[in-house]
Amino acid sequence: MKNPPLLRGATKWASALGLLCIPRTAEAQYSGNIDSGYYLLPGLTTSTVMHRTGKVSGFLGGEVSLAYVDGRNATWYGGYFDAGYDFGSKGTRVSLGPEYGYYYCGVDGGLLLEERATGWGKGFVARGYATIGVAAIYARYGQVVTDDRDRFFELGLLLKLPGYLGH
């Protein structure tokens, strides 16, 4: 099945988001004031979801990350878990996996579980995001590889409050 025009347009927005995250080689070290160490980052997420079928819906959920931040080099890495409700597929969606970031841009992805009438569909997700303070805008692609092989693309907003756990 051919992707609907809305999904094709969304990929252009995701590409533009990626261009924001191209590292600048002239900056060898971060000059900010972020402490190195472990952080717990709980938050809320909301997005517009574009399904393969052309249906557009909303997603509302929560997320938590545990990450190590290297304040000297402005990098972070860790893992995330998110869960929420997709109003289009009328079911709960859960994902978890690793994450990595450089300056204000990051990527994550991993295992996807989506509630279905026949049980839990399994698949994968991948997301890129740009962070500004406690807010991040993101573009995420997901695909369920069991049963109907549904795929989706979402553009969203993530709000997280970092909690420093120590070094």
Q: Report the CATH number that the domain containing residue 150 is assigned in CATH.
A: 2.40.160
Contact 79, 95 (CB under 8 A): no
R_g of the chain, CA atoms, integer Å = 17
DSSP one-letter string for 40-76: EEEEEEEEEEEETTS-EEEEEEEEEEEEEEETTTTEE
End-to-end Cα, the chain, rounded Å: 50
β-pairing verdict for 119-132 and 56-70 = unpaired
Which domain, by its residues, includes 122?
A: 5-19+31-166
Residue 87 has pLDDT above 90, yes or no: yes
Name the residue with higher pLDDT: 94 or 8: 94
Q: Give domain status of residue 36, yes or no.
A: yes
Q: Give domain status of residue 25, yes or no.
A: no
- Say what the pLDDT of residue 18 is: 47
Query: Average pLDDT, whole number, for the chain?
Result: 84
For 14-67, write each residue's pLDDT tens digit. 444 444 444 443 344 445 567 899 999 999 999 999 998 888 999 999 999 999
Contact 124, 145 (CB under 8 A): yes
Q: Give domain status of residue 72, yes or no.
A: yes
| Overall domain count for the chain | 1
Query: How far is Cα of residue 145 from the mean position of the Cα atoms in its chain?
Result: 19
- Say what the pLDDT of residue 103 is: 87
**Mean pLDDT throughout 122-137?**
94
The pTM of this model reads 0.79
